[in-house]
Amino acid sequence: MSNYHIKHLEEYYQVYRKSVREPENFWGEVAEEHFLWRKKWDNVLSWDFEKPEVKWFEGAQLNITENCIDRHLLTRGEKTAIIFEPNNPEEEAQHITYHQLHERVCQLANVLKDQGVKKGDRVCIYLPMIPELSIALLACARIGAVHSVVFAGFSATALSTRINDSDCKLVITSDGSYRGSKSIDLKGIVDEGLEDCPGVKTVLVVKRTNTDINMKEGRDKWLQPLLENAYLDCVPEIMDAEDPLFILYTSGSTGKPKGMVHTTAGYLVYTAYTFKNVFQYTENDVYWCTADIGWITGHSYIVYGPLANGATTLMFEGVPSYPDFGRFWEIVEKHKVNQFYTAPTAIRALAKQNIAFAENHDLSSLKVLGSVGEPINEEAWHWYNDVIGKKNSPIVDTWWQTETGGIMITPIPYVTPTKPTYATLPFIGIQPALMDEQGKELKGNQVEGRLCIKFPWPGMARTIWGNHDRYKDTYFSAFPNKYFSGDGALRDEVGYYRITGRVDDVIIVSGHNLGTAPIEDAINEHPAVAESAIVGFPHDIKGNALYGYVILKETGESRNHDNLRNEINQIITEHIGPIAKLDKIQFTSGLPKTRSGKIMRRILRKIASRDMSNLGDTSTLLNPEVVEEIKDNVL
């Protein structure tokens, strides 16, 4: 029996049971039947969550681009691999066939080699959502270079921190980017960031906006002329199963961003297998994930998962509101999209618009609707289900993380009965556990606790770049021998999971993970600021928005507060990016602290959410009086 494409609930349970009882046989069979190996593995899995060390398909050799491109050439050479829908609807869409993708990836791979990039070197990619972005990931993978994509909405400082952390020697960027009616000076941001990155010797620049930019002599090169002179074929580098494929940064609750390292074979097998089942992709479907490739969703479910299945994957350069709020639905109609995967924040924003934007378009091609990145509230779920899916396209609410590499808890469409706001059942091979705060596993149904995973899965990140101790501390220390996700969840009476949100100091704003510490560090750089604390509060489109409590130094107390608020948000934009801007900033004389000096964020969160009940016993605080002051002045 091929376990690759699950089609009924019975089959799900059967395959799930097998995947849990005999994980090695199960994943070994999936890997054997559906991928191209240069050498087979000696051992399907070895693991130790204490170290932690996890190895899948050890001893195997492969190149992921052979799996995503070359092996399709014979049967799908003329099939569209990537549809590119530009920001401006007047600009023609591009259809890149597998054959053309092969040529373009090989050409860029050859250019990278000519520029001295070798297996194991890190390459930073800072590009908008244009085909060159997908091609750049694949070109790195072709030659065994480790890509580190930085979302092109991040600031110069955020970019340079990431480049330095992983010691990238080359950056691929573009002159500019289009986002709705705006054009952004991407190269200017790169120039500024690179002032702090002595290790970067080469910058390859894609021409996209034809903006007049500064090209630094000896460092910056236009990509196009180099591509024109490059060979159309490039022999793939043969990689070991556990060789790193990419680094992708995610925010932590403390300190600098964590460079999650994903390796080659397990990531390929897991993203391909989840893609096939979670979207029930069949040949000739057109699949569209609206995420940016700067995030894990784009890596796994725009590039690697779909291409490994020979799918047609759509890339959209623009935003849902340009030229108007009908754009997503216009694209669905235009390209006859069958599977559509987006974030609750986009759904909420679109649901607020005139219903005609959706109703004016033929959405009958849709078969599966996906949601990812944050909890989807009931209202948004129903709107998605009724208005977009016309009640006959199942919603897959997919829970997973940068660290997990692929989808972990999800319905399988047409297989698992859905339930609004529930991610439902663990995916094949995934063994969740809910833990109480004392570290005891909560067995049975109708329980709520911290969401952990008990057993390795092929797509999991293997380490944090350059900091294995932090990897262990963050994910494997809270609950021994388990991976701890940082999320809370409940399991209902039938065993369905519902994710309740982060239980640490990560705040999800519009589906983006933001750590409180880096934002507070940025704010504290302002000369008038003495101390600050950030919390999240509910927002009807973004899910959460940020609320800052700021203590001013004496020098700042007489300053105009609106000006200060603007300056603080300006600093945040420079250090992190506009996504981390605060919606509300309350100036205060103090922050509630425990006697050991720890900020009581729980109290601040409640006040910011205007939930003044149950603040708990504040009398044991170091400074209980400040709670009253904060309550009185809440914004």
The CA distance from 236 to 231, in Å, is 13
Tell which one of 423, 460, 514, 564 touches ligand PRX (CB under 6 A). Answer: 423
Selected range binding ligand PRX among 383-391, 479-487, 541-549, 573-581, rule: CB under 6 A: 479-487
Q: How far is the CB of 401 from ligand PRX (least distance, A)?
A: 4
Q: Which residue, 220 or 487, has its beta carbon nearer to ligand PRX?
A: 487
In angstroms, the CA 117 to CA 283 distance is: 36
Cis geometry, peptide bond prior to residue 52 (ω within 30 degrees of 0)? yes
Instruction: Tell me whether residue 178 or residue 279 sits nearer to ligand PRX (CB atom).
Output: 279
Backbone angles phi, psi at 579, to 5 degrees: -65, -20
Question: Which one, 308 or 408, has the nearer CB to ligand PRX?
Answer: 408
Which residue, 502 or 526, is less far from ligand PRX as judged by CB?
A: 502
Q: Shortest distance, CB of residue 579 to ligand PRX, whole angstroms?
A: 12
Instruction: List the one residue out of 129, 137, 126, 124 whose CA is nearest residue 179.
Output: 129
- Taking CB under 6 A as the rule, does residue 250 contact ligand PRX? yes
- Cβ-Cβ contacts under 8 Å for 219 (sequence gap 6 or more): 194, 200, 201, 202, 203
Residue 82 CB, nearest approach to ligand PRX (Å): 21
- Residue 270 near residue 405, CB atoms below 8 Å: yes
Binding segment for ligand PRX among 138-146, 204-212, 370-378, 571-579 (CB under 6 A)?
370-378
Comparing CA positions, the residue from 484, 143, 178, 528 lying closest to residue 318 is 178
Q: Give the range of 11-19, 224-232, 333-341, 482-490 binding ligand PRX by CB under 6 A.
A: 482-490
* Residues forming a β-bridge with 464: 260
Give the range of 79-87, 198-206, 328-336, 368-376 binding ligand PRX by CB under 6 A: 368-376
Q: Kindly identify the residues of this chain, within the stretch 484-543, that bind ligand PRX according to CB under 6 A.
A: 485-487, 499, 502, 508, 513
Intra-chain end-to-end CA distance of the chain, in Å: 60
Compare residues 230 and 534 and give the one whose CB is closer to ligand PRX: 534
How many residues touch ligand PRX under the rule CB under 6 A: the total is 22
Residue 104 beta carbon to ligand PRX: minimum distance, rounded to whole angstroms: 27
Residue of minimal Cβ distance to ligand PRX: 402
CA atoms lying within 13 Å on the CB side of residue 545: 13
Backbone angles phi, psi at 173, to 5 degrees: -145, -170
Angle, in degrees to the nearest 10, between helices 23-34 and 264-278: 80
Dihedral sign (CA 533, 534, 535, 539)? positive
Minimum separation from the CB atom of position 76 to ligand PRX (A): 28
Q: Within positions 185 to 244, which residues make up the interface with ligand PRX, using CB under 6 A?
A: none
- What would you report as the CA-atom Rg of the chain, rounded to the nearest whole angstrom? 24
Region label for 215, one of left (φ > 0), alpha (ψ between -120 and 50) or beta (otherwise): beta
Shortest distance (Å) from residue 165 CB to ligand PRX = 17
Q: In the stretch 269-308, what mask flags binding to ligand PRX with x, by CB under 6 A?
A: --------------------------xxx-----------
- Cα dihedral 437/440/445/448 (nearest 10): 10
CB 462 within 8 A of CB 406: no
Does residue 335 sit in helix, strand or coil? helix
Mask of contacts with ligand PRX, 389-418, x by CB under 6 A?
--------xxxxxx----------------
Say whether residue 172 binds ligand PRX (CB under 6 A): no
Q: Please, are residues 147 and 259 in contact by the beta-carbon 8 Å criterion?
A: no
Between 315 and 380, name the residue whose CB sits nearer to ligand PRX: 380
Q: Which is nearer to ligand PRX, 270 or 399 (CB)?
A: 399
Shortest Cβ distance from residue 163 to ligand PRX (Å)?
A: 20
Residue 132 tokens, joined: 């060159």
Nearer to ligand PRX, 372 or 572 (CB): 372
**To 10 degrees, the CA torsion angle through 21, 24, 30, 34?**
180
> Among 320, 375, 394, 405, which residue interacts with ligand PRX (rule: CB under 6 A)?
375
CB of 137 to ligand PRX, least distance (A): 17
Report which of 308, 288, 432 is spatially closest to residue 368, judged by C-alpha positions: 288
In the complex, the smallest distance separating the C-beta of residue 409 from ligand PRX, rounded to whole angstroms, is 8
Shortest separation between residue 507's beta carbon and ligand PRX, angstroms: 10
Query: Under the rule (CB under 6 A), what is the footprint of ligand PRX?
Result: 250, 295-297, 372-375, 397-402, 423, 485-487, 499, 502, 508, 513
